[in-house]
Amino acid sequence: MGRTLESFQIGYSGRVLASPEQIAEELRRRGLRATRPRVSVYAAVSALPGHPEVREILERVEADGGRVSTQAVYDSLEALAAAGLVRRIEPAGSAARFETRVGDNHHHIVCRVCGATHDIDCAAGEAPCLSPASAGGFLVDEAEVTFWGICPDCQLLTAAPEKSEESPPRTELQEESQR
């Protein structure tokens, strides 16, 4: 069962924001106007498991009784990301996803089958955890790594069926080719 807007707990940089009022206060502290869409969108991203897409965030805001346009969700996410309150990730071939885990050095693993995305702590320590052979004059401050694989649930679903002693039934096409 999901958390409601009034009861969610947000872990953010060691602080817990427990109410819409506290979210609004943090938005203002970051130089943002605390609009209803921004507060609702941040609450939705925080309450949803994993790394939700815009569609999921919009559905959550609406389920919590909010009325907001899809464009307002995009605008709110852009402002929240610019303020460092949410992080946008874009795994290749996927829609943008968002999370409230910001300000640390972590990466992601994405399932090639279902798109499930999970956080992975960086084993190398502080950012950037990787250094390019040549940065071309750039001052590198972050390395974003995405691991790809097949999640445990999809491994079970895609496991090869056990072979039986009997031959599988022949298709019409196979029958015709034998004539």
pLDDT tens column, 32-55 = 999 999 999 999 999 998 899 999
Tell me: the pLDDT tens digits for 7-41? 333 443 434 455 899 999 999 999 999 999 999 99
pLDDT at residue 144 is higher than 90 = no
Q: Which is more confidently placed, 93 or 61? A: 61
| DSSP H or E segment with residue 118 | strand 117-121
Residue 3: its pLDDT value, please?
Answer: 37
Residues sharing a CB contact under 8 Å with residue 158, sequence separation 6 or more, in sequence order: 113, 150
CB 119 within 8 A of CB 134: no
Q: How confident is the model at residue 126 (pLDDT cuts 50, 70, 90)?
A: low
pLDDT at residue 123 is higher than 80 = no
Q: How far apart are CA 72 and CA 42, in angstroms?
A: 12
Q: How far apart are CA 175 and CA 146, in angstroms?
A: 47
